[in-house]
Amino acid sequence: MSNAVTEAVTFWYGCNVLRHGDIIHGCLDILRALGFNAAPVGGPDYCCGTVKDSNQTTAGGMATRTVGRLNARERRVVAWCPSCHSHMHDFMERANERRFEITYLVELLHMNRDRLAPLLVHPVPMRVVLHQHVGFNEFVPVNRMVPELLRMIPGVEVVDHGYLAPGYMCASFAAVPAALRDIHHNTATAARAGKADAVVTTFHQCYREIIGLDAAGVVPVYNYIHLLSQSMGLSYRDEYKEWKRAGEGATELIGAERIAQVGMQFYERAMLPELKSRPKL
């Protein structure tokens, strides 16, 4: 399942999606199947700096470093993370010379949907609601494009539900817990009202939050990359979902040997609470 390589690109996946190796692999395999020779870069060493609002010296240093590293690669950048993509346009490129073209992944897939369509051969019988936010659409109209991509998958039915969460993605909402509760509640309500089999997210930040509904037994949750991959016959193990569903049992699933690589103390303090947390509905 591969087209001739047409373009070498840098796949700038961001930081937090490192929780979801399956999503990174899915994106890479989809890009390669479309003929893009995608080289992934990301993690804290390629951070855009958007998380450093309280220290613009650090944020500025991160922005300069990351733009410089991406410039040095001398090829188009395909961005995965909506925070990185918007921060690039709002701040990074305003203070640093950007010498590469940047395209958001949804936009690239949408532009290449004629080549994507024949690859979507396996039916995915699923009635879904897409979890959407108000924001980010001024950069890329994801609320229009992602349903159009999902509807190309045989068997997928996207329910129009009319609920748009505030903000542009879920991650920062921990600082406003009442709003996060409403997002969980309204997303679950939209899924029930639409008689949906699943909720699908566009961004990994939302996947990480909304997957709590899956772990709580409310409704299964996927990212749109999962559905595209499945229809292309690509298979990955979504370990984050397994761990999240297991909660306390994640420790056994991950296993002592792997946990030792990050340190049991750190795992129990900084990772396990996230896996155990459930939405307050």
Binding site for other proteins (CB under 8 A): 13, 15-16, 18-22, 24, 40-47, 51-61, 63-64, 86, 90-91, 94-96, 133-138, 166-168, 172-173, 175-176, 178-179, 239-240, 254, 258, 261-263, 266-267, 269-271, 274
CB of 153 to other proteins, least distance (A): 25
Strand, helix or coil for residue 34: coil
CB of 135 to other proteins, least distance (A): 4
- Decide whether 64 or 277 has the Cβ nearer to other proteins: 64
Please choose, from the candidates 147, 138, 79, 144, the residue with its C-alpha nearest in 3D space to the C-alpha of residue 108: 79
Q: Strands, DSSP E only, in the chain?
A: 7-14, 36-42, 76-79, 102-104, 126-133, 156-159, 164-165, 198-201, 221-223
CB of 4 to other proteins, least distance (A): 24
Q: Do the beta carbons of residue 195 and residue 189 sit within 8 Å?
A: no
CB of 87 to other proteins, least distance (A): 10
- Decide whether 82 or 153 has the Cβ nearer to other proteins: 82
- Decide whether 4 or 178 has the Cβ nearer to other proteins: 178
115-to-75, 198, 276 alpha-carbon distances in Å: 21, 26, 41
Place of tokens 């994507």: 116
- Decide whether 3 or 137 has the Cβ nearer to other proteins: 137
- Decide whether 117 or 262 has the Cβ nearer to other proteins: 262
CA–CA separation, 209 and 83 (whole Å) = 16
